[in-house]
Every structure is written in C-alpha cells, then in structure tokens.
Structure 1
C-alpha cells in the first residue's frame, strides 16, 4: 500500500445529468463530468457560463453609491478641482490605481496618485497622508481597493475640506464612514447581484458608469487585479478575466508587454496561471520591499523604454524578494524545529514565530511556505525591538477558521484583520506565548484527525479511454481557471506503470508511462523524481492530476501532470533463487535506509543481520508472536544486544526466510496489515535453512477428501468422540493425522452436517446445502496451512497470499 499525500475529495456524479450535458452541449464525458461535478445542471446557465462574453456585464448603476460617485467625480472634473487617487501597495491596489489613471486621463481630470508605504504607513488611509493631501490643495480623494473601514480618517479629511469617494471591495464594518460616496458591492443593502469584484473590478464598473459604456479596453488591468487578488473566477469576474486575457494576448499595453518579457512569457501565451505566478509577484515586489509606485508607473507607462526599465527594476526586486523569502523560511524552519525539540511530547498545533529583522512585507509568503511544508496554521511576525510590537501575517489550513480564531484572542492583539484562510495582525511581543497557547487549544477543539492531512478536491474519476486531445481541448472552454474555477483535477484508478524515468536537472522530475485496458499515456510529476523507486515499472497505482497537451516538434499528444499517487497493492519481489544474497540485502539497505525493516527466520540470521546492519538503526526482528517484541538495534548498543521497540509504519520489508509455525505466521500477518502502510516485500530464502529445508509440510485435505470422510461419518451414523474410537479408526483407514480429522469434524459440525452433544456425535439426516468456505473453522485451517507452506509456494501463490493479508486488518 502506498498512502497518498493528500485526502482525495472525489464527489459522486449523477450520470444521467452528465449524459444530458454531453448531449445538450455536444461535449465529451470529461468536460460534462467536470461541469456536473461543479454544480452545473441547467443547459441554459451552463451555456452562459461557457460563453462568458461582454453582454453579460452588469449595469454599474445597480451598485449602491455609484450614482453619487459619478456625480461627485464629474463635478470635480468640470470644476477643475484637484483630485488624488489613493491606492494600495498590492497587485490589486496598483492595478486599480493604474486603471483610475486611465479613466481620469481620458476624462481630462486634474489629478495625481498616492500609495502608502507598506512598512511606514501600513494599509489604507492614514492621517499623515490626508495632511499631505490638504497641503497639496486636494479637494477630492478617490480611494481604490481601500477606504470602507476608514471612519475616523474620512471624518478627519472632511475637517480639512476634502471630500472622499470610496471604491472598495473589502468587508464593510458595522459603522460606515460618512463619505461623499461609498461604492462597494458588499454593503449590506447594495442590490448589485455580484459581490465578488476586486478593487480593480469596482473601478472597472466605475469607468463603465462614467463613460456610459462597458470600457472593454480597461479589462486588462481589471483582469490582473482579479486574478492577482485571488478573486473567484465566476460570475462577472469570469467575464472580466476572459475579456482582459483576450486583450492582453491580442494587443497588450507597453507595461504588460514589458512585464511579460522579464517574466519569460510571450503576451500571446498569457493565462490566468501565468499572471498569478509570474506577473503578479513582480507587481507585488515593489510594495513588499520598497514602494509600489514603480508598479503603478509601469502599468500606466506609454513609452517602451520607460516600461522596460521599470519592468527590469521590478524583476530585480522580485529576485531579491525570492531570496529574502528563502532565507527567512530557513530561519523560521530552524526556529520551529527548536520549538518542537523543547516542547517534547507536546508540539504546538499552530506555528507562531517572531523575530527582529524579519520583513513584515514577506511574512505571508513565508507563512504559506511553512503551511505547505508542515500543514499547520502558521503565523509569521516581524518584531520591532524599539516598540516591542510584532507585525505580520498568518495562513491557515482547511477547517481552521483563522479570522474566527483570532477573534477569540482579540484581547491579546493591537490590531488584526483577514478571513478564514489568511490574516494580518499586530501584537505585543510579550503576548505571543499566550496567543500560541490559546490557538493550540482552539485547534484541538476545532480540528479532527483528518483535518491534519491536506485535501485535494477532485472533479471526477476517469479511465484512459476518456482522455483524448479533443476532450482536453474542450476543457479549455472552462477557462480562465483560478480561484472558484480551478483547473480540472481528475483521478485515474488502477493503472499499470510500464516505464519510469527521471528527468531534468539533478533528476528532480519524473516521467512515467501508464497503461490501462491496452491504452497508454505519459504522466509527468514535477518534483517527483525522488519517488522513482516507489513508482517503478510493474506497480499498479491511482494517479491524481491535471490533463494537458504536450506539443513537441509539431506533434501534439495528451498527457497527465500528476500531483499525487496511491496504491492498494503490495509489491512482491521474489528473490528466493539467489544463493549468496547478503550483498543484495546490503544494496537494499544502502539505497533505502528509511522505512526499511528486516524479518529473520532464525537466531543465526538475526545475529548476522544485526552485525551487518545494526549501525543503520534498521528494525531487525525474529518472527515472534507479540507485536511489541519487534527488536531494534541501535548505534549505541553492542551488536549482540537487542532492545524491544514496537514496529510502526514501514515501506519495505525484507524477509530472510519464512515463518515456521502458527505463532510466527500470525506475527507476519500483523506486519502485513494495511494500517502498517507497507509497499514492498522482498523475499530471500536459504535453501539449506536447517529449520525448514528438511521439514515436510503436511498436506491439507482437498474437497474430495472431505467428501470421503463425510461418507464414512454417514455410514457410521452416530459415535462417541473418544481417543480410541471412530476418529482413530478413520485415521487408520485414510492415513490422515488425528489433528486433521478433528478439524474436518469441527467443520462438519459448524456447517450443520453433524450434531454434537457433549462427546456424542450424530449425522444430521437432512443437512443444509453449504460450501466448505462457509465455515470459519475451514477458512482458518486453510490459512494456517498456507502460512506453513509459504516457502514452497510459487511466486504467483505468494503474491496472492501476501495481497490477501495486506487487504484486510488483522
């Protein structure tokens, strides 16, 4: 058995609904299955989802505050008032700001822009920035991607004679600011039907309202903000993202062209994934390490030369950011390991780490890396030595509502905000210990055992026959993919690995060829090179991944990009024909030191294995009856000394000889139980083994022998079960030992063929029609017999026996 890294969340499909979508949309089962798994059932609604065109854009004036915002901004423009656009330092914030620059430039407004510094000013409106605006003669502030919570700051602006129009998408507080206009679809009484817009999306709708038409040429920046801010790519966001991507591919502005170039992406190849993983990090880099002005200037640039210069600067900052994240992750990981060592048997459920000198701007990225590594909620904080305050970010796992948890600890913090999966906070350093303890207790209360294994949502399970180029191309109709509309993820069950080879620098990646029902396909696992031995030819596995088209030298073929794997099968390597097998065992120990255990058939083999491999701290054991008698040799123990240590999970069991009695067979079955997680058994057997070579394994009666003995019982009719009676007589006539005959009689009694009353036995006149396998006693006796003849089985018989042990708990 190979355990998967993730929990596979595979929904059950309504096959009738899938068939209806296949027929109504003229698509493959693959595309129809994905749509059905995601809740699409109405042909009309599904068709609209697949089209996602400009006609589906909503009326901006349905949004509360839009009319007032248009009126106030229009008045400022016609009156020549000084306008300042107040943005934010992340990718959505700079996209929103750049989009507003386009709009106000087109409208002929007198304006400038301002973005606060992340570490010096923090998020949102602040009083110092308002003072600067007043000094500059600003009459109107327009916030983008912020402002909905700035109650005090907007009141202060009014005192300075400055009106504020808020455009935002964050959750509104109970008390709203008294602004000239509040434009946010999440306001409680806002009738706008789509609530998932990002900051740039709200500005996109404002442009529509100001210019009296859907401003499709602005969709590029709105799409970047939508994708970068991880907004759900459903509803109107899907339309905006699709329109924006089409525009960027067809006619990119100079800033996007320059940004794509330093990212190593051609504009015509831009996708939501490439924006999220290549363009957005560079737009964010300025705000994280320096100032976000560079990113705004890049997106607003009109000259190629200026755009390329700015893009290169952001690329350099992104490289610096990556190095800083990598170094901070190393430091944080070391700190966490020290915490775990100090905690002993009580490691904390939530990772809370703080250090002076860390950059708060990358705290969220570092937290995400540690969540990926340990799958625990993580809080990373930068400590200010002068103030004693720690500021940073947190990331969570499924099932642990981070915002709710921090709300339970609100008395400890100076400030916090966020949502279920991510948050930011400021807390005094002397309260970190209590925060860690409270979060640890909450995680204990809220999370069950399964929550500690990461989950992967799967759309459907398919066979290799479902995978064609046409089917994969049809999946492209579901694009753009992203949050709320992820790339389809599928599972292919029980495929045979035909070929397996590593590729790339340092053999980091893995390419396998899989087969099912005569069809084959290549599957690639990035970062999976270390699993080459576990995914070797001949192994049957289930694979989880995403489908793609591999294009090379003009050839196109379907392939699977697999992300996880599992197997219910136990691989058996029968090496009984090898005579001098100690070098082979040594090679196995050298190549797989972890997850390896060795079972020995004799004390002599145990001592030899101990002397050879004791230094490797590999569990080495006799086949003993008790589970806790598994013996482990340690480096500190002499080669002849053994100490008891329970055997837990293992990957590879090397068997040096076979069990010789019922006790030892039972122990082996315990080792092979599926909860132990075993993957491979390698068998060695010394032909000259004194304990087994001369043994004659007793035969087990076949069905005809049972029939013969039953015939003798029927002829006798009734008898007493005594040592010198009928059983002894039957033994003399048939040649079967008394123990075997008693087992046969016990089987007949259990099946209702013979009635037993004390020592009296009597044939049942009209016995029920039952098979031998219906008898528990028969099955147990058969298992005991098979266990004792393991060394004499064929490879095929051994595989069946080991697989049966591995498929049921003992």
Structure 2
C-alpha cells in the first residue's frame, strides 16, 4: 500500500471556516479539503436540498424528449421502456415505467436477455416493439453508441428517446432525443449522473411542466440512490442530493420490493455502503443468473405478499451467484499462477464455460488481488465477451479504444467496461492490451494507494467529532469517508487474528502517554498481527466507525493498513 497524505489546504480558509461554523479545526480542515469553504457551502453540504437540483431543461434535447412523450400519451400510443440488466438499468426501467403508468396504462417494459441479446439496445428488442405496434422506445442506461440499431428502428417507424450517461462514440444516434450529459454539445452543469439519474431528470421535466415541484418525485428516489451507489458514480453535486434523499426514502418509506429485501436481511438504517453491498447485489443477481425483468418486477410490485415472493426468488439467485463467483475466482487465480502472469501490467484470463453473469465480479476480485487493469473473458454464442475493471487513475476505456482493431464492440467508463470480440482475435487482443497498458500506465498506479486526509491524535476522536463526521455521508467516489493517520500506537494487550482463517485483525490501541484505549478492526490485516503484538509502536491509517456488541455501542478504528 502507498500512503499518500492529501495536500494541505490553505490554513487561512480553514481558520475562517472553523470560526464561521464554530467547529473543531479538524472538521473545518476536512471540509476545505472537499472544496467547501464558506458557511453557505457547508450548509448545502450538510443539508442537501432537492430544491438545489438543476433545471432539467438545461440538458440538451430535454424539451424534445418531453414533447414526444406528451404526444405519445395524448395519442394513446404504447410506450416501451427499455433498459439494461444491471442495477442502473433495472432501477431506471422501474422508475420510468412506474412514473409513466401514473399518466397512461399503455406502458410496457423490456430488458434484454444477457445471454441471447447481450448488453445495450438489441435488434430483438426493436423487432419485439415493431411486432407489438410500439412506435416509441425510451432507452435508459444504454443507447448512446447504438447508431445502427436506432437507424434500424427508424426504418420500422419506431422513435427512440435515449437517456444515457456513458461516453458517446464519434457519432450520436439519430434518435428523437438523446439525453446524455457527457455529450460534447450538452452544457448541462453536472456531468456525473448515472443512467437512472438521467431518467429522473426526464420525469422531473415532465413534472415541472405540470407545475409540480421536484418534491412530488421523492418516492422514486430510493431507486435513484440505489443506482448511484451500484454504478460507483461520484457522490458529489446532484448525485449527493439524490443519494441523501433516496437513502431517507429507503430508511423511512421504501417501496414494497426494497422492504421485502430489507425484511430478509434484517438490518435497520441502511447506509449507501449497505445499498452497494446488500441491496445492489441482490437486484443484480436476477440479470446475472436468470433475467433482469425479475428485478423490475420486484421493484415495481405494489402487493406486499407478492414482493416477498419475488424477494425470496432473488435471494436464491444471489446465493447461486455467490457460489459461481467463488468457483470462477479460484479457477482464474490458478490460471494466472500456472501461466506465470503475475509480473505483467495487465491480468487477462479466459475460460469458455465461465458464467457470463459473474465475470464482472470476478474481474473486480482479481483487480483487488493483483491490482492490475483486468479482463475476464468467457464464450458468448459465437464470440467472446469480457468484463474489464481498472485501477485508480488508469482509464481502461481509453486502453480498449487503442485496441479497437481486435474488438468487435465495447463500451463503459474509465474504471469498468465490457467488450466482445471474435475468438480468433483473443491472443492478438491480449498482446495488444498488455502493450498499450504497459506503455501508458504509471508504475505507481500498480500499487494500491490509501489517501490520507489528516493526521490526528487518538484523544481527538470523541463522540461529538464522530457525530459530525457521520453527517459527511453519504460516502462514495468524490466524497469518501475521511481517512486518518495516527503515529506511534501500541496495542493494549488484546490483539488477535479473527475470522475462520484468521484473516482479520482485532486489537485495542493506545497512544501513550495517554492511557485511553480504543478498539480497532482491520479486515484482511490478520497477517500483520506480528507488528501489533510485539508491543513495538506502529503507525495506522483508518476511518472511524461504530462497533455494536451486546447492545453497547462504542467508537472503533476501521484499520486500512498498519506499519
């Protein structure tokens, strides 16, 4: 691990903010690090307001999209809401279809089959629309690169409205409207919305024209918050407002589908981390193991008993998914070791019978293990399909772009992408990808980095300090949980390796001469027990959270690394 201390902010700005907010210096310091320098900015940060969302009509093509939907409703056209099988796609379809059903009953939903149709807009989906007399498709979380498919639909008399957030190619599809803040010709002030977020802006525009405020759309925000967490978009600006209010909905008045999942996991008061690691994998499991429509059914179900039934089915898919994920990860790790590929700049593995639904998760696990830009391939019909994951600071999308001669189709983001290629191109692609990455990646990017916000002493960690830190949430890219550094800690005699394999480190630490001790837990730091138990002072990097045990709640250090 590389420990990197964040550049110190301007001390004058810290002092001014500390004075105007009347908070500890450490709190003011953390806020200025996040670009919050005035009382007004701090108030907006701690109390995100739906009223501060941007006018949806600032997005290019929004006026045209709204007009076309109004026309479809007025003329009683059947509207098809189309989205991908991942969390962002299925929550988007649930959001748009359930909103439109408050205006018209003529709404149908479509999620492509991961195995038969693959990612994005499919010819099969367009043919289905044509066969059923549908003349308007609203595509969410996909479509920005579907130039040929949108043209094919146009020939069949079908209009498209695209709501996407992925990077466009060289050509924008000839749809009626293309809503994507990442379009070069779109001046929308916030560029980091997820697909469900773009869909939300569309229903916000429809609601605005009816003279209603954005507050009327609060019940849909549980879907938006889930998509924001699952798609790992920055939790800044509009995303922070939407995630904050969406979490409130999840915890106070969740839709029946979420309630059914929460009932099964028996957890109170979910954070965005819980949404990412508990709710999102279950929603994703439907599209991974069976079909994404199962997730849409759960998320739009109004009957509580039926929602419970759907949630149980999805829980079974999730159990299956975990077993597949474990098994494939083990095989992939063996492949890397037997091929002696640990020293490369990339990790690329392939086996034709690996489950296509879990290769993205496996790619993430391999990235955690070897910390390299990673691709996991499997056979998909006549072609090979892969999921790509990257390391901090390295743009895997750009790397794939440089290998285009060997790829049939690709799309995605800086840190996660997907692609297909012909089997005879696999070795050529693998070689080219390694060359591109090796030539462009900075050596330091191949070692995981821990960014440290601030050095503090243990005595600064008080209940009051933690209460304010909790209000920095929801955490995520662009607003990570504050990370602290404290030197010269010693174990107070309780250190032990815990967990089935002794993988995790549990300890209680002091910073002498102060006798106060505070508990610490370090996941996957079990091997470092020797550092702690020797009674030699050590340095630690950690975030702060709460430990609940037998009804008692105490602060603890969530250790990220020690040395």
TM range (shorter): over 0.9
Q: CA deviation at 1:453?
A: 1.5
Structure scoring higher RCO (CA < 8 A, sep ≥ 6) equals 2
Structure 2 counterpart SS, 1:457? strand
Closer, same or farther: CA 411–38 of 1 in aligned 2, 3 Å: same
In the aligned structure 1, how far is the partner of 2:149 from the partner of 2:499? 54
Counterpart position of 1:483 = 477
Counterpart position of 2:204 = 208
Does the CA-based 8 Å contact 1:11-1:460 persist in structure 2?
no
Is structure 2 residue 444 aligned with structure 1 residue 450? yes
Q: CA deviation at 1:554?
A: 5.3
Closer, same or farther: CA 201–311 of 1 in aligned 2, 3 Å: same
TM-score of the superposed pair, with normalisation by structure 2: 0.94
Q: CA deviation at 1:146?
A: 1.5
Does the CA-based 8 Å contact 2:525-2:561 persist in structure 1?
no
Closer, same or farther: CA 356–481 of 1 in aligned 2, 3 Å: same
Q: CA deviation at 1:35?
A: 1.5
Counterpart position of 1:564 = 561
Does the CA-based 8 Å contact 2:490-2:532 persist in structure 1?
no
Matches within 5 A, 1:115-154: 115-154=111-150
Residue number among 499, 506, 515 corresponding to 1:511 in the alignment: 506
Residue number among 422, 437, 454 corresponding to 1:460 in the alignment: 454
Counterpart position of 1:329 = 329
Structure 2 counterpart SS, 1:230? coil
Counterpart position of 1:251 = 253
Closer, same or farther: CA 498–537 of 1 in aligned 2, 3 Å: farther
Give 5+ residue unaligned stretches, structure 2.
none
Residue number among 468, 472, 488 corresponding to 2:466 in the alignment: 472
Matches within 5 A, 1:548-697: 548-552=545-549, 555-566=552-563
Closer, same or farther: CA 27–154 of 1 in aligned 2, 3 Å: same
Closer, same or farther: CA 449–186 of 1 in aligned 2, 3 Å: closer
Counterpart position of 1:534 = 531
Closer, same or farther: CA 205–399 of 1 in aligned 2, 3 Å: closer
Structure 2 counterpart SS, 1:357? coil
Structure 2 counterpart SS, 1:535? helix
In the aligned structure 1, how far is the partner of 2:151 from the partner of 2:458? 63
Closer, same or farther: CA 498–235 of 1 in aligned 2, 3 Å: same
> How much is the aligned-residue C-alpha RMSD, in angstroms?
2.0
Is structure 2 residue 190 aligned with structure 1 residue 165? no
Q: CA deviation at 1:347?
A: 4.0
Q: CA deviation at 1:15?
A: 3.3
Residue number among 83, 86, 89 corresponding to 1:87 in the alignment: 83
Q: CA deviation at 1:99?
A: 0.6
Counterpart position of 2:33 = 37
Deviates more, 1:553-562 or 1:307-316: 553-562
Give 5+ residue unaligned stretches, structure 1.
567-810
Structure index of larger Rg: 1
Structure 1 counterpart SS, 2:385? strand
Structure 2 counterpart SS, 1:19? helix
Q: CA deviation at 1:446?
A: 2.7
Deviates more, 1:465-474 or 1:35-44: 35-44
Closer, same or farther: CA 282–210 of 1 in aligned 2, 3 Å: same
In the aligned structure 2, how far is the partner of 1:191 from the partner of 1:454? 35
In the aligned structure 1, how far is the partner of 2:197 from the partner of 2:166? 12
The aligned length equals 554
Residue number among 170, 185, 190 corresponding to 1:189 in the alignment: 185
Is structure 2 residue 398 aligned with structure 1 residue 413? no
Structure 2 counterpart SS, 1:172? coil
Counterpart position of 2:175 = 179
Q: CA deviation at 1:397?
A: 1.8
Is structure 2 residue 358 aligned with structure 1 residue 362? yes
Is structure 2 residue 432 aligned with structure 1 residue 438? yes
Question: 1:744-785 CA deviation, whole Å, 9 max, x = no partner?
Answer: xxxxxxxxxxxxxxxxxxxxxxxxxxxxxxxxxxxxxxxxxx
Q: CA deviation at 1:542?
A: 0.8
In the aligned structure 2, how far is the partner of 1:397 from the partner of 1:211? 40
